[in-house]
Amino acid sequence: MPVITTLYAGILGLISLALSFQAGNMRGKTGISIGDGGKQEMLLAMRRHANFVEYVPLALILIGSLEMNGVSQMTIHIMGACLVIFRIAHAVGLKADTMAGLGRLIGAAGTALLTLVASVWAIVVFFQT
């Protein structure tokens, strides 16, 4: 059972809810039921949550698979903690007016790198068994 991954799934679930609530709160304030209503702030809130939902599930599945296949607890904690940090950095760093935000870069590149490493590691684990 992926006990360590469960911890990070819980933390990331709370972050996902926070991002969702931000978008929902903005919908309530602006009266926009569907879409972004042409409002940049609404689009930004939507993209912060959507980007999170696009990338976190696969990363968690990979980390959980590695944990179930005997990868060290320390490695799983490092991957989980990094994923949390990367996703927070991305959400905070995502700006509507520029792509140059450091948080966005750290979050996107870090998540991609973590997913790449976990993916390759999962393939290696398969061929070692």
Q: Give the predicted TM-score (pTM) of the model.
A: 0.94
Tens of pLDDT, residues 91-113: 999 998 888 889 999 999 999 99
Q: Which one, of 3, 16, 4, 94, lies nearest residue 55 by Cα?
A: 16
Cα–Cα dist 117/68, whole Å: 16
Residue 100 confidence (pLDDT): 84
The residues near 79 (Cβ < 8 Å, ≥ 6 apart) are: 63, 66, 114, 118
Fill in the DSSP letter of residue 69: T
Residue 96 confidence (pLDDT): 86
The CA-atom distances, in angstroms, between 37 and each of 27, 30, 95 are: 10, 9, 18
Q: Which residue has the tokens 């978008």?
A: 23
Q: Which residue has the tokens 């360590």?
A: 4
- What burial letters (b/e) apply to 11-27, b meaning 16+ CB within 10 Å? bbeebbeebbebbeebb
Q: Where are the domains of the chain?
A: 3-128
Q: Quickly name the fold that domain 3-128 has.
A: Four Helix Bundle (Hemerythrin (Met), subunit A) (1.20.120)
Residues of the chain with pLDDT under 70: none
